[in-house]
Amino acid sequence: MTASFVMRAACAMLLMTTSATAYAQTADIRAEADGKARAIVDQLTLDEKVAQLLNVAPAIPRLGIPAYNWWTESLHGAIGAVPTTNFPEPIGLAATFDAPLVKQVAATISTEVRALHTLGRQTGHLGSIGTGLDTWSPNINLFRDPRWGRGQETYGEDPYLTAHIGVAFIQGIQGADPELPQVVATPKHFAVHSGPEPSRHVDNIFPTPHDLEDSYLPAFRAAIVEGKAGSIMCAYNRVDGQPACGSHMLLQDYLRGAWGFTGYVVSDCDAVVDIYDHHKYAPDAATGVAVALKYGVDNECNTATLGGRKDLGDRYRESLARGHISMGDIDTALVRLFSARYRNGDLPGLSARKADATPPGAIGTRDHGTLALTTAEKSLVLLKNDGVLPLKPGTRIALAGPLADATRVLRGNYSSARSAPPISVADGLKQAMPGSAITLIPFSPSITDGDLVPGSALRTPDGKAGIMAQYFNATGQNGFAAKPVLTRTEPSLLSSAAEYRQVSDRHSILWTGYLVAPETGLYRLALTGVKGELSLNGKPVLSARDYSRWAEPLQMTQLRLTRGDRLAIRLQAESGVSTNPAIFWKRVTDDLDRDLAAGTRDADVVVAVVGLTSDLEGEEMPVKVEGFSGGDKTTLDLPADQRAFLEKARALGKPLIVVAMNGSAIDLSWAKDNASAIVEAWYPGQSGGLAVGNILSGKADPGGRLPVTFYKGVEDLPPFTDYSMDGRTYRYFKGKPVYPFGYGLSYTSFRYAPLSVEPLNGAAENGLRVRTTVTNTGSRTGDDVAQLYITPPRFEGAPRTALRGFQLVTLKPGEERPVEFILSPRDLSFVSRAGDRGLIPGTYQLDIGSGQPGETTQGQKASYSISRAVSLPK
């Protein structure tokens, strides 16, 4: 017996002992939490029980249990009562192809979510949205079609990329021990959910067994099996006839059966109502809630709670009385919910959970802001560069386009307006290139217009910076106190009463002060979520009569102002009724041709910032304008005014640099043929404008890669409503894209060494170890994403090729670094037409490089063979 054999045996025994100990500790934690939860549930009355099944769980004072709101959102930044850190939209996070970075981002978000919970405790507002120690993130649905408005919330079109970025996010949110999560992660929307938005409450999707196993479920399996997510959100739509929130196949066969899920299930908001109201799957409310509860939905999100409705538990009471559900069904759900509250630290008393409240001061720190900037830089994708980039110091720049000075666009969907002050491209470029003359050219009125008026443009009635806010507590069913409980100067209308203990959950706010025009010009203004008016010299210029007024796109009024003009503000909002109280504005021109010619006359280059906003593409919304419908896109074209503008800018004869901001693939074929450079910026977060400036100036290298295919038009795709994957995404698309999945350039170049492919334990069926070396052959430090693709032999259901590994490498000039991929049998597996996953005999091509095989010259290939079929579990 050799010494090495003894050492290996000892290590193996230690690993087994450690694993067994960890398993026992996990079991002990869960058993203790479940026991304490059961002790609570056993003491509850029926009224108390049914109330706890909703997203707003009321306090139970006699048992010392505080209120808890399960509704917390943090796809790319916490959303709460105070300004939080806003990271790039998830599609931008995916573009980094950097799982460790995404895990760091998620850990930062988790810290801020915990700090918001602490703030809720300190102010007595634990019943408010955004105060829970769980979060309804990430969105790991597959971005199968670029028309889907919510695709921006996802990690793109590839199941492998989505799974690995999703697991990283979950691990960052929950922390090192999923049994004692810092914050419970809730991947969504389970499952087969990706538009259209307007029909999501009635859609009935029939995915093929192949597509279900190959495309729609892998990320969810990874989230539960590898990421150990403590919760999951079921979707609105039906799958094979059953509502996703009442699906035996999804919630029982896969989730709790094959994947061994032991956490709790929450419904998407009003998805349980959809079971009986829209799908008509159940004849009435009592039967509908029974369908959800019996199949495993533990917590129902119901938007009626936003208005304070208190009778929603009656549906469960009636269902129990009719015999559709048992007390045991209710108790099972409640034990799961209270157990989670013990394990995340909301409820004290769990022996393994020490008190570790995160102070509110941990929100929006300098380090968090630095991470937001770094992440935005790494998310940007350089699609074309004829040598104009990076810009040289002193370059004279004409900056134009509807999004050149925009700030709302940076935040994207599911974001808080209460983030750090956003940095537009105009401001970011000035910071990045202080020695350059930058001329900002206003754009004509556009459907993308509408930025929040910043605090710098507001003054209190006595002329101080900010706006005066008076808070009035409710005094009954419909009235409010005559005197304010709190009067203070706020930086903007975005103040939240949840910051203040003396303000009750039900209250009204009165804002007074002035909006001061910073310069002479033509402005567009809009109000949302308020009653009241703006007036100039005593005459109303903009008024609103309805608290809930909210139009997407904004309904804007045009007004010419002189620098220093003071618009008097008197606006009012009411909690639970008002929707997003805000003043929006945009400075525009009434003669774009004139201003474009004048502004570019002395310029060396033209930087055109174009794209969309998440007020056009996003979650179900009442938008019906050219190119957009109900939250989705009807075309991949840029808006018509932007297309015309780009042609005019190109005709000036100056190098044209196009910066695109969007959450989905758009047609960039014209820019590919006519622009000197193209940068895809997504919705890059609070520091997005500075990130763009740093990339254009060369202070940072563009390391991002496309997580979606950029097609030329919707005519290249199957119908949006068709959930078959045939003809979609790089894996099954048969046409020629404008830019392919995985594509992206750098300011330097790379070389890959020939591949070394080694079967694990002597057979490829056990997995592969693949090695190469990447060398920076250029003159600048830069990033490359080493992408590993497997191209299978031809069989029915086989993809063209499939991503099965990726690693971001940052190299100095001349530096080389070994890169290794360990591919498991699941990584090597494919799915038959019948929907069976396994190792399929045949010879496979393996490529590692800067992009897809055939799409990059920076790469190497090899082959391997599978000799016998091996079936893998669901």
Is 48 designated active site? Answer: no
In sequence order, what E strands does 441-555 have?
A: 451-452, 458-459, 467-473, 486-490, 507-516, 521-528, 531-536, 539-544
Question: Percentage of the chain surpassing pLDDT 90?
Answer: 90
Query: pTM (2 decimals)?
Result: 0.96
Burial of 106 (0-12, 13-18, 19+ CB in 10 A): buried
Q: Before 138, cis peptide (omega within 30)? A: yes
Q: Residue 14's pLDDT is what?
A: 47
With 50 as the cut, is the pLDDT of residue 4 above it? no
Q: How many CB atoms lie within 10 A of CB 290?
A: 26
Q: How far is 84 from 86, CA to CA, in rounded Å? A: 6
Q: Residue 144's pLDDT is what?
A: 98
pLDDT tier for residue 547 given thresholds of 50, 70 and 90: low
Q: Tell which residue, 811, 764, 765, 771, has the closest CA to residue 788.
A: 771
pLDDT in tens, 446-489: 999 999 999 999 999 999 999 999 999 999 777 899 999 999 99
pLDDT tier for residue 99 given thresholds of 50, 70 and 90: very high
Which of 617, 632, 701, 765 is catalytic? The answer is: 617
pLDDT in tens, 377-419: 999 999 999 999 999 999 999 999 999 999 999 999 998 777 7
Q: Is 234 helix (H, G, I), strand (E, B) or coil?
A: strand
What's the rounded mean pLDDT across residues 267-283? 98
Q: Residue 545's pLDDT is what?
A: 82
pLDDT tier for residue 7 given thresholds of 50, 70 and 90: very low
Sign of CA pseudo-dihedral 159, 160, 166, 167: positive
With 60 as the cut, is the pLDDT of residue 3 above it? no
Q: How far is 660 from 666, CA to CA, in rounded Å? A: 9
Q: In whole numbers, what is the pLDDT of the chain averaged over residues? A: 94
Q: Residue 583's pLDDT is what?
A: 94
Q: Residue 550's pLDDT is what?
A: 52
Residue with tokens 């808890």: 68
- Structural tokens at position 610: 């174009």
- Structural tokens at position 339: 């157990």
With 80 as the cut, is the pLDDT of residue 577 above it? no
pLDDT tier for residue 551 given thresholds of 50, 70 and 90: low
Distances (CA, A) of 550 to 148, 301, 378, 612: 22, 22, 34, 19
Q: Between the ranges 105-114, 126-135, 346-355, where is the mean pLDDT highest?
A: 105-114
Q: Is 784 helix (H, G, I), strand (E, B) or coil?
A: strand
Check residues 216 and 544 and name the one with the higher pLDDT: 216
Report which DSSP code applies to 370.
H
pLDDT in tens, 733-743: 999 999 999 99
Which of 112, 197, 203, 268 is catalytic? The answer is: 268
Q: Residue 22's pLDDT is what?
A: 52
With 70 as the cut, is the pLDDT of residue 778 above it? yes
Q: How many CB atoms lie within 10 A of CB 463?
A: 10
pLDDT tier for residue 308 given thresholds of 50, 70 and 90: confident
Q: How far is 81 from 73, CA to CA, in rounded Å? A: 12
Q: How far is 629 from 198, CA to CA, in rounded Å? A: 8
- Structural tokens at position 457: 């443009």
Pairing, β 397-400 against β 438-440: parallel
Sign of CA pseudo-dihedral 141, 144, 147, 151: positive
With 50 as the cut, is the pLDDT of residue 12 above it? no
CA atoms within 13 A on the CB side of 272: 32
pLDDT in tens, 794-813: 999 999 999 999 999 999 99
pLDDT tier for residue 6 given thresholds of 50, 70 and 90: very low
Is 820 designated active site? Answer: no
**Cβ contacts of residue 688 below 8 Å, gap of 6+?**
88, 376, 410, 422, 423, 425, 428, 661, 681
Q: How far is 405 from 202, CA to CA, in rounded Å? A: 40
With 60 as the cut, is the pLDDT of residue 771 above it? yes
With 90 as the cut, is the pLDDT of residue 549 above it? no
**Sheet bearing 628-629, strands edge to edge:** 624-625, 628-629, 632-633
Q: List the beta bridge partners of residue 784.
A: 809
Burial of 539 (0-12, 13-18, 19+ CB in 10 A): exposed
Q: Residue 512's pLDDT is what?
A: 97
Q: Tell which residue, 584, 810, 729, has the closest CA to residue 97.
A: 810
Q: Are 292 and 300 in contact (CB under 8 A)?
A: yes
